[in-house]
Amino acid sequence: MNALLETLEPKSIWSYFLELSKIPRGSKHEAAAAAWVADQAKALGCEVERDEVGNVIIRKKATPGKEGHPTVCLQAHVDMVCEKNEGTDHDFTRDAIQVWKDGDLLRAKGTTLGADNGIGVGAALAVLASKDIAHGPIEVLITIDEETGLTGANGLQPGRLKAKFLLNLDSEEEGFLTIGCAGGVDTIATRKLTRTAPPAGSRAYRLKVFGLKGGHSGIDIPSGRGNAIRLLAQVLGALKPGFGLALASIKGGNKRNAIPREASAMIFLDPAKEQAFREVLVGHEAHWRAALGAFDPGLHLALEPAEATQAMTAADADALIHLLMSLPHGVEAMSPDIKGLVQTSTNLGVIDTREDMVEVNLLTRSSVDASKVALSERIAATCALGGFESHTTGGYPGWKPEPEASLVRIVNDANQSVFGKPLEIMAIHAGLECGLIGEKYAGMEMVSFGPSMWDVHTPDEHVSVPSVGNFWKLLVAVLEAV
């Protein structure tokens, strides 16, 4: 037996999770992992099919005596966000996640862990493998490409599922029951670039922003954490005029749904001004560290030699820097109805510079569709003023809370029975697949719950081992109560 698995309970979930962690499964590259899930279910004697977009749909018969009970669908996504620390030698298309135990926590070495949503997948497979849970008919829906486009849920066709109830296993806080979520839309802004020779006598350098926490662009957006792209633009905007900088490129962030932890700019600088630039940079680091305070204390700015041969024109560089300083990032509005819930936000998530073009990606979320549309239109107007073209893509609906639904009562009563207390009922400022699935299955009741995990979408992602045990107890109790 795997030495790590010997220290983990319940083994029924962890054994599947650890095996899944060996299979590369970044979003849009999760085909092998989805096939592995299908193979596990077939080996357990379940009915298995793959739909048009690659989702895995599994059916397990009811245990004797519960054939007439309502069908329950367990739903999770097989893909994961692939983030790693600078300097970590890891190829997400080839290498296994290096999982390790830190007391009561499970972490990965320098990368995202994939507990989001590998724990949900592991739990669903553990239910299929169980022989001692008294349950009605079960469906399992394992979707693909949740993290970068909700492609699996979006491509699910009406009529595929028969379940009355759906348990989404993609929540991240024990003791809470999620019954609603925000919708979202992506904005992609682009500008064609003209290249020119750098200033005579200048040298190429890389200006880096790093050490920030990053985080989930929905759950962590109100946390006050720094955005590396925005901070880099602020520094460039302040230093470019006085030092006569020429800009070759800006690159930052990896996923539009992760707050950027790192960003860098390739610049040309007169080497005679390098020492003065470094001294001023120290002051800017202190300034922004003070601004971020305890919200994000690890900020660092650095300058290092680099290689580059061409710069952008001054007009292109100014337009890009000013756009990055002007685009919204963070909380736009709080909910007037639910205390502490972010209603509308935007994440300035990714920037990439190619030879002839620069591209900026943003993700706007809102639980109010009109607010989502209005903010995305304002982003488009800002882009147009800066000389950028933009378009929206990947829009998905929110999930309207139904606190009086019978499934909410069933799950809450099960938690009361197992743990002696009710769950906290909430909606979240993040995208869950329930909104898209609910559009296709209007009569289906849905809730979402899961174990406690933190810093998802970052290399600091970690999950509570005892919380996974409690999550399993609740899941079993719900299945037996339906």
Residues paired with 269 in a beta bridge: 203
Surface-to-core class of residue 470, CB atoms within 10 Å of its CB (0-12 exposed, 13-18 middle, 19+ buried): middle
Active site annotation includes 104: no
- Contact between 457 and 258 under an 8 Å Cβ cutoff? The reply is yes
Q: Among all chains, which residue has been given the structure tokens 């302040």?
A: 238
C-alpha 140/C-alpha 42 separation (Å) is 13
C-alpha 448/C-alpha 401 separation (Å) is 11
Q: Catalytic residue among 30, 146, 173, 433, which?
A: 146
Q: Among all chains, which residue has been given the structure tokens 């309970």?
A: 9
Shortest CA distance to 360 belongs to which of 194, 199, 249? 249
Beta carbons within 8 Å of 352's beta carbon, 6+ residues apart: 251, 358, 359
The CB density around residue 287, as the number of other CB atoms within 10 Å, is 14
Rounded to 10 degrees, the C-alpha dihedral 272/273/275/280 comes to: 180
Q: Catalytic residue among 30, 79, 174, 316, which?
A: 79
Shortest CA distance to 330 belongs to which of 476, 212, 223, 450? 223
Active site annotation includes 79: yes
Residues annotated as catalytic are 79, 146
